[in-house]
Amino acid sequence: MFANLQSAYAELAEAQFELEQRAAEINEARELFQQVVESMSEMLFLMDRTGHVVRVNPAVVAVLQRSEAELVGKPFAEVCGRPDIPGTPWQLLQRAPDGKLANLDIEIRAATGATVPVSVSVALVRDKRGKITGVLAVARDITERKRAEEALAHQAAELARSNAELGQFAYVASHDLQEPLRMIASFAQLLAKRYEGRLDADADEFIGYITDGAGRMQRLISDLLSYSRIGRTGKQLAPTDCAKVMDVVRSNLRAAIREAQAEITTDPLPMLLGNETQLVQLFQNLIGNAIKFRADRPVTVHLGATRQGKEWCFTVRDNGIGFDPQYADRVFMIFQRLHARSEYPGTGIGLAICKKIVDRHGGRIWVQSAPDNGTTFFFTLPAQDAPGPGVGG
């Protein structure tokens, strides 16, 4: 009997020791958790089932500039200085049926009256049986993020205003230059017609320079006007048949295609959301470039189209002279040329116009090429069933 009591006492002592050890571990974990909570820069609000605050961490005291005693026992809405915020767990989470609400941006009000923008995440607190016991809200100060967003929005507005002014200037300047330039070109041609061969060779050469320069300037102004017109007036995208667009392009390029004996092939082309006039300009510039920069072999150009989610990806692939891949970004910049004007005529605006048209349609454009190995232009356009942006006409 005594031996049994001894054994039971030993077991009891061992169990008590384990309980004390477990209690010490729990206390240590609780203290560690408390240290973590108190050192967090985020604000923590623990509320009961009715939405009244029962605990806050030091970050809340620092931001709201109120003591914990002033905050505990008050509704969450009152603590935040926002009477429009519902306070009970069910009201706080009414739009979050899974019991969680993340990254709700609101402004809370400090004791001084100053407002602080915060991003709040809220979750229901449950006991071991799954019963709701309260709500935990974590608020992160997003003042710096809001300042950055405001600065970015201001910069975007300034850039849009600057671009609009620049576009307007380019349009007005190009338009107003047309008439005096037309007069210069007309009189230069008249000089050449009346006096060629009647003056000395230098005079004939000078007149030729004037005529050629005036012609190039007219083409440049015409291209500048085309570039500046894109986006000057807003117009919604409309269903556009790309097969009909290509019919217009073939008609416009008939002489160039015949001269180069070029073979132009296409995949079946889709209906999509677009501005038909600008799409004609886009396809025509890219196919015309392929014909112009041809190599000493029969010219082949293929227009491909593949559906990719909410957009179509087009390719214009040729077997022309190509160019060094290091210039892949430069070719889309206005007035940038990779070849001398004496080799290939042009103003250096055509691909810039292509990029602007694709941008206005909400797409992307890029290119792959290699010397003497052809060039492939890629660009995306919104599908007919995808919401598209406005586009300039």
Entry pTM: 0.50
- Looking at the domain assignment, is residue 111 inside a domain? yes
pLDDT score at 342: 45
pLDDT score at 390: 47
Domain CATH code at residue 189: 1.10.287
- Do residues 314 and 216 both lie within one domain? no
- Domain residues for the domain of 169 are 146-229
- Do residues 135 and 173 both lie within one domain? no
- Decide: 260 and 300 in contact? Cβ < 8 Å: no
- Do residues 383 and 252 both lie within one domain? yes
- Looking at the domain assignment, is residue 30 inside a domain? no
- Looking at the domain assignment, is residue 12 inside a domain? no
- Looking at the domain assignment, is residue 14 inside a domain? no
Pairing of strands 100-109, 115-126: antiparallel
pLDDT score at 64: 84
Helix (H) or strand (E) holding 318: strand 311-318
Structure tokens of 302?
A: 């293929």
d(CA 316, CA 287): 7
- ∠105-107-113 over CA atoms, to 5°? 170
- Looking at the domain assignment, is residue 91 inside a domain? yes
Q: Of the residues 229, 250, 274, which one is the last residue of a structural domain?
A: 229
Burial of 131 (0-12, 13-18, 19+ CB in 10 A): exposed
- Do residues 79 and 220 both lie within one domain? no
- Do residues 268 and 310 both lie within one domain? yes
pLDDT score at 34: 54
Per-residue confidence in pLDDT tens, the chain, 393 aa: 555 655 655 666 566 656 655 555 445 445 544 555 565 778 888 888 778 888 888 888 888 888 888 888 888 888 877 766 665 555 656 555 555 666 777 788 888 888 888 888 887 777 778 787 788 888 888 888 888 888 888 888 887 777 666 666 666 666 666 667 777 778 777 877 777 777 777 777 787 777 777 766 666 666 666 666 666 555 567 889 999 999 999 988 888 898 888 899 999 999 998 888 889 889 988 998 888 888 888 889 999 999 998 899 999 999 888 888 777 777 877 655 555 444 545 456 778 888 988 988 889 999 998 888 889 999 999 887 655 454 444
Q: Of the residues 141, 158, 182, which one is the last residue of a structural domain?
A: 141
- Do residues 129 and 263 both lie within one domain? no
Q: Of the residues 141, 171, 206, which one is the last residue of a structural domain?
A: 141
Cβ within 8 Å of residue 359, ≥6 positions away: 365
- Residue 316's SS3 state is strand
- Looking at the domain assignment, is residue 319 inside a domain? yes
pLDDT score at 11: 64
d(CA 319, CA 294): 7
- Do residues 131 and 168 both lie within one domain? no
DSSP symbols for 177-234: HHHHHHHHHHHHHHHHHHHTTTS-HHHHHHHHHHHHHHHHHHHHHHHHHHHHHTTSSE
- Do residues 268 and 383 both lie within one domain? yes
β-sheet with 115-126: strand ranges across: 53-56, 43-48, 132-141, 115-126, 100-109
- Do residues 297 and 333 both lie within one domain? yes
- Do residues 77 and 90 both lie within one domain? yes
Backbone angles phi, psi at 134, to 5 degrees: 170, -160
Domain CATH code at residue 376: 3.30.565.10
pLDDT score at 340: 46
- Looking at the domain assignment, is residue 124 inside a domain? yes
- Residue 118's SS3 state is strand
- Do residues 337 and 393 both lie within one domain? yes
Q: Which residue has the tokens 């407002």?
A: 115
Burial of 113 (0-12, 13-18, 19+ CB in 10 A): exposed
Domain CATH code at residue 94: 3.30.450.20
- Looking at the domain assignment, is residue 29 inside a domain? no
- Do residues 122 and 154 both lie within one domain? no
The total number of structural domains that make up the chain: 3
b/e string for 365-383 if b means 16 or more Cβ within 10 A? bebebeeeebbbbbbbbbb
